[in-house]
């Protein structure tokens, strides 16, 4: 019984000493707030809101679709955003843009996988 305890303690030390920590997942509401801030910071694009009807949940987070307020609230097709970007918010709170070309050609899952690889390489 003692060797098992020693092994468990050693495993805990190795994982914590290596800088690994369990990241709590954010809620969908917190992710939406991050997506709103991300959208608001987009230069040259004004009056966008998140259309909650288009939000999709994935294993790694949520994809939010910003659209012009006039289109969402009034259905004014002059303000539709064909080819607009999605904001993907990871469960750890990291957010990034998915272009419509990437979304269409490769899908959201592939965009998330690529973002994870880039983030890992940057750290």
Q: Percent of the chain having pLDDT more than 70?
A: 76
Name the least confident of 12-21, 35-44, 54-63, 82-91.
Answer: 12-21
> What's the pLDDT score for residue 43?
62
CB atoms within 10 A of CB 61: 26
> pLDDT for 45-93, tens place per residue?
678 889 899 999 999 999 999 988 888 888 888 888 766 789 999 999 9
Q: Percent of the chain having pLDDT more than 90?
A: 44
Partners of 26 in the β-ladder: none
DSSP code string of 50-87: E-GGG-EEETTEEEE-EEEHHHHHH--GGG--TT--EE
Residues 116/65, Cβ–Cβ less than 8 Å: no
> What's the pLDDT score for residue 72?
85
Taking alpha carbons only, the member of 20, 38, 120 closest to residue 112 is 120
Q: What is the average per-residue pLDDT within 19-33? A: 77
What is the band of 20 on the pLDDT scale with cuts at 50, 70, 90? very low
């Amino acid at each position: 019984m003692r060797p098992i305890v020693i092994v468990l303690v050693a495993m805990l030390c190795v994982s914590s000493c290596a800088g690994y920590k369990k990241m709590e997942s954010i809620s969908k509401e917190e992710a939406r707030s991050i997506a709103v801030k991300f959208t608001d910071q987009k230069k040259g694009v004004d009056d966008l809101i998140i259309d909650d009807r288009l939000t999709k949940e994935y294993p790694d987070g949520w994809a939010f679709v910003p659209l012009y307020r006039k289109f969402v609230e009034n259905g004014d097709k002059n303000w539709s955003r064909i080819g607009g970007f999605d904001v993907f918010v990871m469960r750890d709170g990291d957010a990034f843009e998915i272009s419509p070309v990437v979304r269409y050609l490769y899908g959201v899952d592939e965009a998330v996988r690529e973002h994870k690889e880039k983030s890992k390489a940057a750290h």
